[in-house]
Amino acid sequence: MGCNIHLKLEKRQKGQTEWSSCEVTRSLWGNRVYGMFAKLANVRNYWDLKPIEQRGFPSDACVDTKLAYCFEVKPDDDYEKNEAMYEKWGRNIINESRANEWVDDNLSEEMKIDDYPYDEYRYITDPDAHSPNWCTTEEMEQCIREIFFNEEKNQWQDSFIEWFALLGAMKGIETDDLYECRAVFWFDN
């Protein structure tokens, strides 16, 4: 079974504390490059590569990132009545009974999202999500160079284009030196 990466870019003004979402198309990093997974989060690390610092999911992640990492919990009767609509929305929504099972089985944990209207609802982490972490633009660039640049041949190799596009987006956000950017990511199998 393959392993997938889920990644959200966040930005904040330098000197500020609040992160916000960056709208970047998810398909940019669709290739499964296990060397990058190993460097970013020690996932599928068949080569014993030294990963970047493992920080876990950031507690100060923006609302959009938290929503992508979680399931919204709906009362059983509401979920049953509206299940078809929830599926059309394409969001992670689960009924309360199932959510409680996941939490009781330590597959998920409660996630607080402090922003109206989200703070009125209950959220749990996705039970399939694992190895969450985040990195700076500089760390992303270092990982990309280590995985895709062949020093002996002095050339880039393999499937680096999508990762370059991601790095380009991160560098673009930081171009005017007003913002800093980070990539928040997790995996599923």
The verdict on residue 105 lying in a domain is yes
User: Count of domains in the chain?
Assistant: 2
Give tens-digit pLDDT for 22-64.
977 554 455 689 999 999 999 999 999 999 999 999 999 999 9
Sheet holding 4-13, edge to edge: 20-21, 4-13, 179-188, 130-136
- Say yes or no to pLDDT of 97 above 90: yes
In a domain, 67, yes or no: no
Please tell me whether residues 11 and 99 are part of one structural domain: no
Is the same domain home to 135 and 121? no
Residues 143 and 176 in one domain: yes
| Side chain identity at residue 61, one-letter code | A
DSSP of 132-166, one letter per residue? EEEEEHHHHHHHHHHHHEETTTTEE-SS-HHHHHH
Q: Are residues 82 and 35 in the same domain?
A: no
Interval 101-108 mean pLDDT: 98
**The pairing of beta strand 122-125 with beta strand 110-111:** antiparallel
Its pTM stands at 0.91
79 and 121 inside one domain: yes
Residues 106 and 84 in one domain: yes
Count of Cβ atoms closer than 10 Å to residue 110 Cβ? 12
Q: What is the pLDDT of residue 28?
A: 43
In a domain, 150, yes or no: yes
The answer on 77 and 51 residing in a single domain is: no
Domain end residue (candidates: 125, 140, 163): 125
User: What pLDDT score does 140 carry?
Assistant: 97
State the pLDDT at residue 118.
Answer: 84
Domain end call among 89, 105, 125:
125
Domain around 168:
4-61+131-188
Q: Would residue 86 count as lying in a domain?
A: yes
Q: Of 125, 143, 164, which residue sits at a domain end?
A: 125
